């Protein structure tokens, strides 16, 4: 991986996945799956979705690691223990790190092999930047939900 873009994307994704794990670790177990009014996706759902998204598009599509995504389940799963979420975040960091470390820089200009319809025909380079943006957006949502939940709780 000699491409500055791939190096930067890898660093950003690994950094933000670590920050996401810290957010999950700071969320009390009883609030991981709690929905707030107007916000249908709890902390656990957002974390699980981000793992599925990155493992699918980077681990499986680019790294050929065999991961099989069940996107619908990302939004219907409830009650998974915090440690299981943290383990999945660590597995996601590993999959992303390995796939991007071995990505041939010449591939960045190729079309992304698997995309949602709105990104069909986009390059791998473009899609990697899109994945950074997606992670950042949902990580911000998760942070806001965690903080709102914490603000409702009396400080002991």
Query: Taking the domains of the chain in order of start, what are their residue ranges?
Result: 4-152
What's the CATH class of domain 4-152? mainly alpha
pTM over 0.85: yes
Per-residue pLDDT, 31: 94
Q: In this structure, what is the dihedral angle of CA atoms 10, 12, 15, 17, given to the nearest 10 degrees?
A: -80
- C-alpha–C-alpha distance, residues 130 and 153, integer Å: 35
Res 156: pLDDT: 47
Burial class of residue 114, CB neighbours in 10 A (0-12, 13-18, 19+): middle
Angle at the Cα of 103 from the Cα atoms of 98 and 108, rounded to 5 degrees: 140
- In this prediction, what percent of the chain has a pLDDT beyond 90? 83
Q: What is the pLDDT of residue 61?
A: 97
**First CA to last CA across the chain, in angstroms?**
49
What per-residue confidence (pLDDT) applies to 2?
A: 73
Calculated CA dihedral for residues 27, 77, 117, 65, nearest 10 degrees? 90
Q: Provide mean pLDDT across the span 150-156.
A: 67
The pLDDT confidence band at residue 3, using thresholds 50, 70 and 90, is confident
Task: Specify whether the CB–CB gap between 100 and 13 falls below 8 A.
Answer: yes
Residues 6+ apart with CB under 8 A from 64: none
The residues near 110 (Cβ < 8 Å, ≥ 6 apart) are: 123, 124
Are 123 and 110 contacting, i.e. CB atoms less than 8 angstroms apart? Answer: yes
């Amino acid at each position: 991986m000699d491409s500055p873009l791939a190096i930067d994307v890898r660093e950003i994704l690994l950094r933000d996945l670590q920050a996401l794990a810290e957010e999950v670790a700071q969320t009390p177990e009883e609030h991981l799956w709690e929905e707030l009014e107007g916000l249908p996706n709890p902390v656990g759902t957002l974390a699980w979705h981000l793992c599925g998204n990155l493992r699918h598009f980077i681990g499986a599509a680019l790294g050929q690691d065999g991961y099989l995504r069940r996107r619908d389940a990302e939004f219907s799963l409830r009650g998974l223990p915090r440690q299981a979420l943290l383990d999945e975040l660590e597995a996601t960091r590993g999959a992303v790190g390995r796939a991007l470390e071995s990505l041939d820089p010449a591939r960045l200009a190729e079309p992304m092999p698997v995309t949602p319809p709105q990104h069909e025909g986009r390059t791998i380079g473009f899609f990697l930047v899109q994945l950074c943006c997606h992670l950042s957006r949902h990580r911000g949502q998760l942070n806001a939900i965690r903080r709102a939940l914490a603000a409702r709780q009396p400080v002991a």
